[in-house]
Each structure stands twice: as structure tokens, then as C-alpha cells.
Amino acid sequence: MQTRRSSPLSPDPSPRGRGARPRRVTSRRAGKVGALLAVAALLVSACSSGEPTKAMKAPQARKPAAGAALAALPRSTPAALAPYYEQKLKWRSCGAPGFQCATMRAPLDYAKPDAGSIRLAVARKKATGHGKSLGSLLVNPGGPGGSAIGYLQQYAGIGYPAEVRARYDMVAVDPRGVARSEPVECLDGREMDRYTQTDFTPDDERETGRLVAAYKRFAEGCGADAPRLLRHVSTAETARDMDIARAALGDERLTYVGASYGTFLGATYAGLFPDRVGRLVLDGAMDPSLPARRMNLDQTAGFETAFRAFARDCVRQPDCPLGRKAEEVGKNLKAFFRKLDARPVPTGDADGRELGESLATTGVIAAMYDEGAWAQLRDALSAAMRENDGAGLLVLSDSYYERDADGSYTNLMFANAAVNCVDLPPAFATPDDVREALPAFEKASPVFGEGLAWATLNCAYWPVAPTGEPRRIVAKGASPIVVVGTTRDPATPYRWARALTRQLSSAHLLTYEGDGHTAYGRGSRCVDDTINAYLLRGTPPTAGKRCSAR
């Protein structure tokens, strides 16, 4: 998996992290298991665009140069980009009181800025205080595919610390292809329902063929919807869009908080524009130097780490449905998944969906993002295992996929695949490649390894060739950058935060000893105070700074 929102059948095999404040999921539409389940992303992509491959033919990607580093762009703005950098945003009231929206233009193809533009949605909430303004603070919740504007309006613009909101204009830009910014669409609601129920742990050639067919239908749908746009949704291009936003907002330097995949986006910005870095917080960090297969394997191990923490907590509760000993929990859950594979259980869903192995696994994975959802997961598992009622796990799965009660889906999963598949060469090219790697994935996670290995196959059938490759990001000359890592983070393993800190020339690591995905705004006063001091006064954490929930 990558640090995107990974799910057994995520259009891209990686659960790119979700950042944001935790909140309990109580209905099929009730937000994410952690405020906005930001989905984390893959790796740095180049600025050039690839030509589309023949439909359903696995793209042949370039072999990345060992140890290659992302090169900074020239400091001067090319004349062809001047109209974009000089544009004035026209703000209008939108959404809840105090929020304003505008539309920003950016080149569809930065290599040919005169060949057409893309419209990007921007939102802001002006600083609430009366003191000296610190400018704009851009936020991104991750994904790729998470709506930054939705995150701003639902949480960041009203839930960030009051002292931060008092000094900064809170700003969000939906990345190209996401939500309000010319969204990629691939399947309708019924088609997506069938896709999410596909068996992602095939037992024979027939089931393997069905899984491959599902990936191909998904890719074909995306290619038919936006054949030109799909070549230009890379993280590098979105990072360049952020620099246009910085200029349009009137800021000399970018101040930014990115969670999960948002850390890859922020680090890419720093690598391309090190001299324009202001105060950057990269929470739930990714390692941009990893190829897709290594990233997915690391993330699989991350989910196992989180699941073991859940198992230890579960057996301490009187209602744990998975046994009384922590070492039994994984085996019992795996056995339950096998039963669902043979015989799904009813859910009471109006559209007739039953709970099979795929949806159940996604529901469990969703709860791993936030330890605040563990009690809900226990209840859902108890109902499914003891009462033959799969409704609770379906709620968790629907929250992960962002499925509405009316059967519609946001474009999160479509954008997630579109960005991930262009950012890096695919982890696997054929089903045989997956079978060869299964022992390593199952060793990394006996519970989730098989499903997450097969989930990495989806990009092999993407209709557009990848344009990016793994790169180290150094950002030489950038102002101090704060990298945040959580020790038992499922989607962005702690080792990634350490790796990114070693790469960035000016990085300061803040360690959160705890569970869940990301750390800022999740209950640790130590974390929040440290990041607030950096955002408000420019003071980065001291070397070796560690925080905990207590």
C-alpha cells in the first residue's frame, strides 16, 4: 500500500493517510473514522506528462536512477507563466458564514502553459483576530483525493486552535482532479458498489480473472471520463499549482500544514521551491524515495502494527468478540473473513448489499486510522460474528469509500487512483508478480497482507503511463520544516517520518508516541503546543522532541 487511503480494494492500493481530528462514525455518511480520512499518496512525480498507453496495456516505466534527488525549479518565473502568477482571485461568500470561495487558473500542462488551463477551486476563512496577520495558511488533508476545501469547511476553518485561526487566513485548494477542481469520475454508484464488493483475495484463476476485470473496468471508466486530464494530475503539478496559489494570495512564502499524502505534496513543494518555503508542517510523513512495492509493503506492516495495538486493547474489554488472548485475535479475524468469503451476512442495506470479505476487511482497516473507532469496531464485529448482522462493518466501509446513503460516492477513490498511478511505476505488472510477492506481504501482516498485495495490482491496467519516479527530496536552503511521525501509525509508518527528516536539509522531527494516523489536533497537548509555537513564532521543535497522549 502506499500512503494513500489504502483499502483492500482501493482504486490504488495505498491508504494514503488521513489526517484530521478523530470523530466517531455513526451513520453511513457520517464523515471519516478520523475527521477526514485523508488518503496518503505515492511518490514524487515528474512535471512532464506521459502519452496514454493502449487501453488496458500495462505501462512500461523508466527505471529510477538510484538515489536521484528532486531538482529545484529556477527561481525566476517563466514569462509564459506570468499570467497565472499575476491573476487576481475574485472572492464570494460560500458555505458556512465566514467562508469565501474563488476560482484559480493553472496550466493543464506546465510544459505547454499556453495550450490550455485548468480551473481550481479555492476557499478561505479570513483571520479572526485583530493582531498582525501572518498571511495565509494552506491546509491539505491527504489522499490523494481528499477535498482540501471540505476539510477546511468541516474542520480546519473552525477546529484549528483559535490562536492559529486568529493570525492566519485559513486557505484550501482542491487539487486538480479532486472534488471541486474538475474532478475525475470513473464509475457510477451501482458500478462502484459492485467494484467494492469484488473478491480481492482470489482463490483460483477464475476469481483472479474477475479481479483483473474489475480493475480494467475501473481504469476504462476513468480513461473515458478524462483522457487528457489523467496525464496531468501528478503531485509535482499540484505542487506547482500551490505556488501559483501562494502568489495569488499575496504571500512571499508558503505556510502549509499537510497530513498523510499532504506531506508528500508539501515536501514536493519544498523540493521544487526551497526558497519559497515558509513554515511547513508535514504530519504523518511519507518517504518519497521508495518505489511502489516497497511503500506498499511498509504500509502493510504499518496496518499490522496498528492491528496488534487494537488486539491488545480488545482483549482487555469484556465484549471483545475475537478472543481473550491478543495472539488469538488475528487468527480469529482471519477465520471470520474466510467465512464471509464463502457466505456473506445480511446488512439490512436498502440496495441489497451483503457483508462479504472485501467490505468487512475495508471496515476493519478504516477503524485502524483512529483508536477512537476501536470501540465501534468491536461492536460491529460482535454484531456480525454473533448476530449475523453486518450493518456496523458496512457503515465503517462506507465511511472509508465516502459512500452516501443515497448510493452515490464522492470522487475520492477515483482521484486517489488517478494520482497514485501517474506518480509512480506500478508495484506489479501481472497477477503472477503478486503471487510471487504474497509470502512477503503475508509475513508483514498475516491478517491484511494477502488483500493488500492484490490491491497493488490496479495501476498495472491504468490507461496512462506513469510520469513520476521515486526521488529523495532535499530542499537545500529551505527554512526549517517540521516533520511529524506517530509511532504506531497504520498508513504512514513512523520509519517514513525518520526517512523524510534525514532527506530534507532543514527538517526537525517531532515524534508522537501513540496510535492512529497523524498527530496534530488528535488529543496530545504536547504535539499541539509544539506545532502552534512553530506556526505562530517560527520556533521548530528541539532535537529529539517526543510527545505522548498523556
Closest CA to 496 of 481, 512, 483, 477: 483
Distance between CA atoms of residues 273 and 80, nearest Å: 18
Strand partners, 45: 468
Closest CA to 287 of 302, 274, 275, 277: 302
Q: In the numeric block, which cell numbers belong to residue 27? A: 451513520
> Which run of H or of E encompasses 299?
helix 292-314
Is the distance from CB of 223 to CB of 463 less than 8 angstroms? yes
pLDDT, one tens digit per residue, over 104-155 is: 999 999 999 999 999 999 999 999 987 789 999 999 999 999 999 999 999 9
Least confident of 13-27, 73-87, 141-155, 188-202: 13-27
Measured torsion, CA atoms of residues 302, 197, 390, 28, in degrees rounded to the nearest 10: 80
Least confident of 2-11, 77-86, 411-420: 2-11
Closest CA to 295 of 286, 304, 303: 286
pLDDT, one tens digit per residue, over 439-459 is: 999 999 999 999 999 999 999
pTM, to two decimals: 0.90
The residue ranking higher by pLDDT, 389 or 55, is: 389
- pLDDT greater than 90 at residue 514: yes
- pLDDT greater than 50 at residue 56: no
Cis peptide leading into residue 144 (ω within 30°): yes
Closest CA to 237 of 150, 151, 175: 175
Give the pLDDT score at 35.
31
- Residue 550 binned pLDDT confidence (cut-offs 50, 70, 90): low
Whose cell is 499540484? That residue is 238
> Which run of H or of E encompasses 212?
helix 205-225
Per-residue DSSP letters for 421-456? HHHS--S-SSHHHHHHHHHHHHHH-TTTHHHHHHHT
E strands in 206-318: 254-259, 277-283
Is the distance from CB of 438 to CB of 457 less than 8 angstroms? no
Is the distance from CB of 44 to CB of 471 less than 8 angstroms? yes
Give the pLDDT score at 226.
82
- Residue 58 binned pLDDT confidence (cut-offs 50, 70, 90): very low
Is the distance from CB of 105 to CB of 84 less than 8 angstroms? yes
Is the distance from CB of 394 to CB of 407 less than 8 angstroms? no
Give the pLDDT score at 373.
97
- pLDDT greater than 80 at residue 46: no
Whole-angstrom CA distances from 448 to 16, 263, 366 are 16, 25, 12
Determine the average pLDDT of the residues in 154-179. Answer: 96
CB environment 219-230: b (16+ within 10 A), e (fewer):
bbbbbebbeebb
The residue ranking higher by pLDDT, 433 or 66, is: 433
The residues assigned a catalytic role are: 260, 489, 517
Percentages helix, strand, coil for the chain (3-state, rounded to 5) are 40, 15, 45
Strand partners, 35: 32
DSSP state of 497: H
Distance between CA atoms of residues 381 and 383, nearest Å: 5
Q: In the numeric block, which cell numbers belong to residue 329? A: 485475535
Give the pLDDT score at 489.
97
Write phi, then psi, for 27 (nearest 5 degrees): -150, 170
Per-residue DSSP letters for 138-188? EEE-BTTT--HHHHIIIIIHHHS-HHHHHHSEEEEEPPTTSTTSS------
- pLDDT greater than 90 at residue 404: yes
- pLDDT greater than 50 at residue 48: no
Amino acid at 120: L
DSSP state of 371: G
Distance between CA atoms of residues 7 and 18, nearest Å: 12
Angle (deg, nearest 10), helices 431-444 and 292-314: 40
Determine the average pLDDT of the residues in 450-477. Answer: 97
**How many C-beta atoms surround the C-beta of residue 538 within 10 A?**
13
Distance between CA atoms of residues 382 and 253, nearest Å: 51
Give me the sheet containing 507-515, strands edge to edge: 92-93, 99-107, 117-125, 169-173, 136-140, 254-259, 277-283, 481-488, 507-515, 546-548
Is the distance from CB of 286 to CB of 3 less than 8 angstroms? yes
Per-residue DSSP letters for 372-412? GGHHHHHHHHHHHHHH---HHHHHHHHHHHTB-TTS-B-SH
pLDDT, one tens digit per residue, over 231-266 is: 999 999 999 999 999 999 999 999 999 999 999 999
Closest CA to 39 of 134, 151, 135, 119: 151
Determine the average pLDDT of the residues in 294-307. Answer: 97
Determine the average pLDDT of the residues in 325-332. Answer: 97
> Which run of H or of E encompasses 510?
strand 507-515
Strand partners, 100: 93, 124
Per-residue DSSP letters for 89-142? ---EE-SSTTEEEEEEEEES-TTSTTS-EEEEEEEEE---SSS----EEEEE-B
- Sign, CA torsion 454/460/463/467: positive
DSSP state of 310: H
pLDDT, one tens digit per residue, over 417-428 is: 999 999 999 999
DSSP state of 45: B
Q: Which domains does the chain have, with CATH numbers?
A: 79-183+229-288+470-548 (3.40.50.1820)
Measured torsion, CA atoms of residues 299, 301, 307, 308, in degrees rounded to the nearest 10: -150
- Residue 67 binned pLDDT confidence (cut-offs 50, 70, 90): low
